[in-house]
Amino acid sequence: MAGIEIDPEIMQEFLTECGELLESLEGDLLELESNNTDTDLINKIFRALHTIKGSASFLALTELVEIAHVAETALNAARNGEIVIERPMMDMLLKAVDVIKQQMDEIQAGSDSLTKAEPELVAALAAAGEGKENPYAPETAVPQPADSDPSDTPGGGPTGGGSTRELALDPSKADLLGPFVEDLESQLDKLSDQIEMLMDEAARPTLAEQIEDLGRGLSATIDFFEFDSMLELADSLVEAAAKAAKAESVEMDQLLPRMRAVLNLLTQQKDGLGEGTLVEPPKGELLDRLRTLVENGKVDPAWVLPEDADEQTVFEIDGVVDEHAEQGNGDGAQADPSVPPHPGDDS
């Protein structure tokens, strides 16, 4: 916490909200002890820990994020049926809550540093989150994230152009990056599911509101890390969702594929962060055209998307990639990447 200025009003809101969640958590855990297969209760406890972790991450409370994160991942493993919450696991979760309560007391008292959870507790909860059969053994080590392959990302890898550089974070934020990337992956998955359902006209207003809320939370966390390029993309999704709530189907034909394309670029950046790099993907005219759709719904004939356009089609039409760049122009020269391609141009 040292060296980080936090608005006292925001901190008080955090203390109030998390205090209420912790009070509920203890009772819920004790109730779970007598019915350890109650999925609704497990989900409720998971959501409470997830909220505490997310808020603590925004406030750069590294020690609190660490213990909340491993407790949350253990609960997630239980939700997915990978582990069963028996007595040893319950004891660890209760210890985790005790640690968080102590840290909250230290924050309330204005302490410059927070007590760290015991390494053995963190390691055991982390192992449980990995679905390990015996996460309680003393020799259990904290699992390290496996290398990710960008080609496994839905929508493919980088679209070409842009830039990639090694990530350099302030030490006060570096420890929060791992939990942020994991949380980001979960949020992007949710956004993807919700965006795909936006064509349901009856459900569209509710879904659009959910996307707005999720996008705003995402923007707030990204802003904390000062990832400006990611922030621009996340903010554009929030604006597009607000438009989608009232959009006609004909407008959605142009709006929805571009929202998917923005999500694709965010996913590329998430994958880069997981590998310790900051990816700055090219955006071409994508965000400007999305903004035009949001503000007045007008579509220039030059950039009308065909029916059922996928992300690659959006990238080509909106100049994120040059559809002619790999084909050349017939005499071995490459097409000018600064010229946005036009649909139907076969030359």
pLDDT at 146: 40
How do residues 174-209 score in pLDDT, each as one tens digit? 778 888 888 888 889 889 988 988 888 888 999 999
pLDDT at 324: 39
Cα–Cα distance measured from residue 193 to residue 304, given in angstroms and rounded to the nearest whole number:
24
Token pair of 298 as six digits: 């007008």
Choice among 4-8, 88-92, 225-229, 281-285 with the minimum mean pLDDT? 4-8
Helices (H), the chain: 8-34, 39-58, 62-79, 87-108, 119-129, 171-174, 177-196, 204-225, 228-244, 249-274, 286-296, 311-317
pLDDT at 67: 93
Mean pLDDT within 336-346 = 37
Cα–Cα distance measured from residue 112 to residue 53, given in angstroms and rounded to the nearest whole number:
19
pLDDT at 219: 84
Kindly report the backbone phi and psi dihedral angles of residue 277, in degrees, each rounded to the nearest multiple of 5, phi listed first. Answer: -125, 155
CB 70 within 8 A of CB 122: yes
Give the residue with greater pLDDT, 92 vs 331.
92
Find the radius of gyration of the CA atoms of the chain: 23
- Residue (of 34, 45, 137, 151) closest to 88 by Cα position: 137
Kindly report the backbone phi and psi dihedral angles of residue 84, in degrees, each rounded to the nearest multiple of 5, phi listed first. Answer: -115, 135
How do residues 115-137 score in pLDDT, each as one tens digit? 999 988 988 898 888 877 444 43
Mean pLDDT of the chain: 79
All domains of the chain in start order, with CATH: 8-129 (1.20.120.160), 169-317 (1.20.120)
pLDDT at 161: 54
Band the pLDDT of 314: cuts 50, 70, 90.
very high
Q: Looking at the predicted structure, is the pLDDT value of residue 68 above 50?
A: yes
Q: Looking at the predicted structure, is the pLDDT value of residue 337 above 60?
A: no
Ranked by mean pLDDT, the top range of 10-19, 258-267, 289-298, 316-325 is: 258-267
